[in-house]
Amino acid sequence: MLDTATEAERSDQLRLLADSATAFASGRLSLARARKLRGEKPEFDPAMLAELAGQGWTGLLLPEELGGFGLGFAEAAVVIDSVAGQLAPEPLVPVAVLAAGVLRRCAAGERRDALLGGIADGSVIPGLAWQNATGGLDPADPAFTATVQGEGWSVSGQARFVRPGSGATHFLLAARSDKGIELLVVEAGSDGLKLVSEAQADGTSLARISVEGLRVAADAHLSLSAADFAAAIDEAVLMNAVELLALLRRMRTMTQDYLKTRVQFGKPIGSFQALQHRAVDLLIQEELTAACLNQAIAAFDAGSCSVDERSSYASRAKARAAEAAMWTAREAMQMHGGIGVTDEYELSLYVNRTLALAPWLGNASAHRRRYVRLNPPKAGSDA
């Protein structure tokens, strides 16, 4: 589909998709709803996730034969932007990008196809468990270890920072074996699966999952290459950056509006040059982020870059988006004065979501470091 559509057709389609995503988000995903779901267990509404699936959004990136739409990252970004902008706690990126991206790369088979079909129709909500307790980010070194045992597998280890945790229907335990990367599919609530929730700034939580010698049947075992696993994670990193851009754009425009309307000393505070320059700096950050993301998304969709180039794009995008969003959050609070640090005012919802999403799958610092690891400075190279 991506190959056949012309540039113009695609941008028309993107506009249509953006319109319907915006309409859905403003109609169905109110900030009041997001506020009310904070701290709940589960912290999102499974019925709403099913509704998002009904819009086709959980299957956007999946091939049509698996119940998806075979669309690209530009389309996914449009939808994710709308959903994130309304602070919906439904785990769209973790499920429809991360878990789906990993599963999609596993060998086809009954179990895999059923899970992907379930993601597309909203009935399956898997959480990928792969990072260790201090937050290791090396896809080649996932949190669990797996060994063949009789007909099936035995898995041990502990993963942290798993999204979704509460509310997940399945967990995909990523494990090292002597053959490569194994993926063990375990239903939530299974015996021997220990889950501890850790609360985040935005009222959602991350799960800590541990198993010790858990037996997993052969038909719940999938496998994929370390490179494919890394590629799926990079896609989630990029779409997570899209979420952060949506948040920072909202915080920045709220601040811009406030600077125009808040009056002190007989004039709008936006007339003070000390604040004007800072507002402009935020705009520049927003534009840098958007430009960087557009480039990365286009490269992902073109599908022509190497694994390392893809990782570089993902890291560049995340480094910029996370840094810019955290910066915008701080400046937005400051330029609002007292009201900017209250729970009641909507800015706090955006700030707290930013605090939760910026570190997920690696914060700005981690991604800057990865970028230069992949692209060490070389004498005589052009930018």
Partner 1 sequence: MSAVTDWNALDDDSFRQQVRSFFRANYPEELRYPKTRLRWAQIRDWYLTLSKQGWLTPAWPTRYGGMGLEPSKLIIFYEEIELHGVGRAPDMGITMVGPLLIQNGSEEQKDYYLPKILSGEHIWCQGYSEPNSGSDLASLRTEAVLDGDEFVVNGQKTWTTLAQDATHIFMLVRTDKSAKKQEGISFLLMDVTTPGIERRPIRNLAGHEEFCECFFRDVRVPKANLVGEINRGWTIAKALLGFERISIGGPKQSQYAIARLEELASHLGLESDAGFMDAYARLKLDVLDHAALYTRFIDQVRRGEKLGSDVSMLKVIGTETYQKISQLLIETAGSAGGLVDDVEMAGEDFDWLTSYYNARPATIYGGSNEIQRNILASQVLGLPS
Ligand X SMILES: Cc1cc2nc3c(=O)[nH]c(=O)nc-3n(C[C@H](O)[C@H](O)[C@H](O)COP(=O)(O)OP(=O)(O)OC[C@H]3O[C@@H](n4cnc5c(N)ncnc54)[C@H](O)[C@@H]3O)c2cc1C
Residues at the site binding partner 1, with contacts judged by CB under 8 A: 131, 133-135, 137, 160-161, 198-202, 206, 263-266, 269, 272, 274-275, 326, 330, 333-334, 337-338, 340-344, 348, 351-352, 355-366, 369
Q: Binds 351, which of partner 1, ligand X, none (CB < 5 to 8 A, cut-off by type)?
A: partner 1
- Give CA separation, 157 vs 32, 93, 102, 233, 344, in Å: 39, 25, 20, 20, 41
Q: Binds 331, which of ligand X, partner 1, none (CB < 5 to 8 A, cut-off by type)?
A: none
Cis peptide upstream of residue 63 (ω within 30 degrees of 0):
no
The amino acid at 309: E
C-beta of 21 vs 326, nearer to partner 1: 326
- Give CA separation, 47 vs 38, 79, 80, in Å: 16, 18, 18
Cβ–Cβ contacts within 10 Å for residue 339, how many? 13
Q: How far out from the chain centre does Cα 383 lie?
A: 29
- Give CA separation, 241 vs 81, 321, 340, 366, in Å: 10, 5, 24, 14
Q: Give the per-residue contact string, 78-117, with ligand X (x = CB under 6 A; - = no).
A: ----------------------------------------
Binding of ligand X by 269 (CB under 6 A): yes
C-beta of 262 vs 330, nearer to ligand X: 262
Binding of ligand X by 69 (CB under 6 A): no
Are 128 and 99 a contacting pair, CB within 8 Å?
Answer: yes
Exposed, middle or buried: residue 177 (CB in 10 Å: 0-12, 13-18, 19+)? middle
Shortest distance in whole angstroms from residue 105 CB to partner 1: 23
Are 129 and 185 a contacting pair, CB within 8 Å?
Answer: no
When CB distances to ligand X are compared, the closest residue is 337
Q: Binds 343, which of partner 1, ligand X, none (CB < 5 to 8 A, cut-off by type)?
A: partner 1
C-beta of 218 vs 341, nearer to ligand X: 341
Q: How far out from the chain centre does Cα 233 lie?
A: 9
Q: How far apart are CA 128 and CA 173, in angstroms?
A: 6
Binding of ligand X by 334 (CB under 6 A): yes
b/e burial code for range 26-52 (CB count within 10 A of at least 16 → b): eeebeeeebeebbeeebbbbeebbebb
Shortest distance in whole angstroms from residue 342 CB to partner 1: 6
Shortest distance in whole angstroms from residue 334 CB to partner 1: 6
Binding of ligand X by 274 (CB under 6 A): yes
Shortest distance in whole angstroms from residue 63 CB to partner 1: 31
Shortest distance in whole angstroms from residue 296 CB to ligand X: 34
Shortest distance in whole angstroms from residue 182 CB to partner 1: 22
Shortest distance in whole angstroms from residue 225 CB to ligand X: 51
What residues form DSSP beta bridges with 214?
A: 155
Binds ligand X (CB under 6 A): choice among 41, 265, 344, 377: 265
C-beta of 286 vs 323, nearer to partner 1: 323
Apex 332 CA angle, 23 and 203, nearest 5:
65
Q: Binds 114, which of partner 1, ligand X, none (CB < 5 to 8 A, cut-off by type)?
A: none
Binding of ligand X by 262 (CB under 6 A): yes
User: Where does this chain bind ligand X (CB under 6 A)?
Assistant: 262, 264-265, 269, 272, 274-275, 334-335, 337-338, 341
